Structure 1
Amino acid sequence: MKGIIYITGEIGVDTTLNDVVQQVKSQSLATEYLVKIDSIGGYVDSGNDIYNYLLTLGKPVSTFTTKAYSIASKIFMAGSTRIIPEGAKDAIMIHLPWMEVQGTHQVISDYLKDLKAIEDDLVDFYSKVTEIDEKTIHSLLSNETYLDATQAFDWGFATQLQPAQLAVAKLKNNIEEKEESLMDKLNQKIDSIMNMLTGKKPVFKAELILQDGTSVSIVFPDLTESDTPAVDDMAMVDGQPAEGEYTMPDGTIFKFEMGVLTEIVPPVQEEQLQEEPVQEDSAEPTAIESEVENNESRLVELIEVLAKKNEELEAKYLALAKQVGSDFTSQKTEPVSSIQKENIEGVRTFSIKRKK
């Protein structure tokens, strides 16, 4: 079971060590963790604390990012597997540490010593992890270097590039889709009426569950499996309201705020038009035709049930009328005959015939 840890915003402000610990504790059954990072960086001490904590989990840790800047880039390095989507721009940024300080000469001198020690530690850290010499690393830090996905992989910051799937534009049979949609609605109506008459409990359809490119499950509780997510739909991730961006396997990006889908960004890759062959008319009945025939039988059954219940109610009223001395008589002189199903010029219709 994979647990998900989110590190967003400013380290030490928006995401603290306590936040990360709480996320881990809420997923105590996880056998591995995926750390998703979307951060501009922040306080060095907080970043070091989070990095060290991830190393002590004793379970496999993978990291994923499209934006890990400053000290957040060190947290990204905590993953034994470090993933960046192929084609991501400015995914990693490293620079020398800096600080704002006020005080006496002695206070500032002390801060300078601390700043130099932090700088040396970062140079040593990145040099060991990437196996790049310290002089080159120091030069990269001094120039505030941004790395795209390919550079991050080539220089050892990332261990894996996530392939980007090309968007595919397909021609679909809109008529068939509409027929299937109408058929679904008809099924739901018939099921609802039959359940009411027979006393059966309704069967609810499963909620819509999608997975992004990192296998994170996004649950849309108000949608069904045949629905397509749209702006303003609600979604959950790991039992919590969805937040942030999720890149789907086809390259589509879903953006959420407080569990609400606020934007759907289509893939930016070059589209490849693939036409689906139009099926020739076949003498064999299609799946939709078979479903229609099945629903016809169910409608016949439904009408028969309604007719039977009507007769039962009328018999009860007659019995009651006799008890109270009423002169109520039935308007029906003959019982309802069988329900017949007819086909007129290829159009399926239903008619209820009574004996005269």
Structure 2
Amino acid sequence: MIGVLNIHGIIGEIPDENGNIMQPNVTFLDVVQQVESQKGITQLDVFIKSPGGFVEEGDDTYNYLISLKQKGVRIRTIVEEVCASAAIKILLAGDERLLIDRPEIMIHNPFGAPGEGDADEIEAYYKDLRRMENGIIDFYASTTGTSKEAIKPLMKKETFLTPEQAIEFGFATGFYTKIPLNAVAFSKNLITKSNKMSNTLDKKEAETLVDKLLSGLKNFGKSEKPKNLKVIQDANGTELEFPDLEPDDTPTVGAKTTADAAEYVMPNGETYVVEDGELKEIKPKEEEAPSEEMAALEEKIENLVTELAERDNTIQALQKTNKENSKAIKGFETEFLALKRSIGSSFKHEKGERKEQHQDQKRQVWKKKDQD
């Protein structure tokens, strides 16, 4: 037979600022009364929805559940909505530690403040608080398999774990599968004698039937989260749910979300600002200032571009000069050819003294040309 234990509310009777006991709460006495009223149980499903409370009362509940395990009762702890602080130890009493949907799982160091007293009394208080802290770290490490070096800073920072992280670190073992109650109607006229239920059930059939009834009664009237909703993760792995959006939709300003009020940096660099269950703003990615090395490289590129432009201008000027020089050389060649023709036209071959006369005439022609 499967029994049910509900730990809903603050663990222990803790007074508020006005001295009134905070509600709802569950005491160790409540736990014992719930369990002892169910006779012959072979399994106990412990449903936890608690922000924590007194460490000592949480320890008493844990020890009581362990004593039931020693008597052969299988313990299964199941988290609804929230499990934090002192409630974590109760969670770790389960052979199976299951999560319903996406509850909040939080671990932190124990805290408190001493009352009035002398130095010895205050010092003793702090020593007890430190001893309690170290004891919790040792217990978490031995039960979950996660190292003390990893757990200690997480507790100091008051860390909220996602369901996936809670499973990865050993605080939970998996997700709880609900068995929904389906509305059905039967007619007595359609039930034949051969398929009527027997008036007697064996033990296994009875336990199965009770299991289904208890599960259905517990979840009766509760609304399930829509399965096809938009879920995104920020750069740190924190999930943001948008219940009104489809999986393929893109969140925009004004979209409703179940995420806590905060600023979430997305993998693409955008920042989602969430307030009062709504996406209030989407900040664009901040452009990073260029590094000194990058700035120096950009300056070098600019200098090279300027230098190339100057060289291009120089090449163009040289090409222009070369063109002008080519034109002048062409003019010289024309004049040279004309001169060559002029010299050739006045030359006559004669023997003896006529040769010398020709040479004088030739020199005269050159002289005239220079004067021109």
Q: TM-score, normalised by structure 1?
A: 0.49
Greater helix share, structure number: 2
Higher relative contact order (CA 8 A, sep 6+): 1
Q: TM-score, normalised by structure 2?
A: 0.47
Q: Which has the larger radius of gyration?
A: 2
